[in-house]
Amino acid sequence: MAKRKRKQGQEEVLPVPAVPKRIQPLVETWAQEACEMYNVQLFDVIVSKGWLIRIYVDSEIGAAPGKGVEVVSCVNVSRYVEALLDEEEGVYEGYNIEVSSPGIERKLTKAKHYAMSVGKTARIIVKEAIEGETVFNGTIDKFEDNKIEVTTEKGSVSIPFGTVTKAKLTFQF
């Protein structure tokens, strides 16, 4: 959202400044600190044009199945990161921050997402066919050496991380 400035009885809309490259790693560091403090896992941080900062957190390691992240944890992470952003030089004061769960059918875009998803079911699409297939639906058995080991209805398959074009967890309702 652009800031408005009054100019001789008229409103002039000022452009939102670009997000400096240094902000993404700073927010990731601060979000990780907050997650450790409030006993939740950092899933992802996305800093978009327009100063929209999205932080995705998940329940703590070893949480009972179906126990998602609590709202109070999201609030605590948000307040921690906001306090540091407000003190940081060069941060646009009109930034927006959202802290939430990545959702039950979350996208898997980073290597750490696969490691965090061992034992869960996923749909993984690859660039080039592996054993004649480009789409794999199954359980993630392990993630090691940049390879995703998945058990499908047809058996086990090893998927190189670099060949994945799209992936997400799946949930049977």
Buried b (16+ CB within 10 A) or exposed e, 24-58: eebbbebbeebbeebebbbbbbebeeebebbbbbb
Helix or strand (DSSP H, E) at 28 = helix 23-37
How many domains, in total, are found in the chain? Answer: 2
Specify if 121 maps to a domain: yes
Shared-domain flag, residues 9 and 94? yes
Are 87 and 27 part of one and the same domain?
Answer: yes
- Domain limit, last residue, from 44, 65, 100: 100
110 pLDDT exceeds 80?
yes
- Is the same domain home to 77 and 57? yes
For residue 113, the SS3 value is helix
Residues 152 and 130 in one domain: yes
Q: Are residues 77 and 123 in the same domain?
A: no
Per-residue model confidence as pLDDT tens digits over 133-170: 999 999 999 999 999 999 999 999 999 999 999 999 99
Q: Domain span at residue 72?
A: 3-100
Q: Confirm if 45 and 24 have CB atoms less than 8 A apart.
A: yes
In this predicted model, what pLDDT tens digit does every residue of 54-109 receive, in sequence order?
999 998 766 655 678 899 999 999 999 999 999 999 899 899 999 999 988 999 99
Could you tell me if 86 and 127 are in contact, meaning their C-beta atoms sit under 8 angstroms apart?
no
CATH number at residue 25: 3.30.300.70
Query: Are 159 and 165 in contact, with CB atoms under 8 Å apart?
Result: no
Please state the length of the chain.
173
**Which amino acid is it at 139?**
T
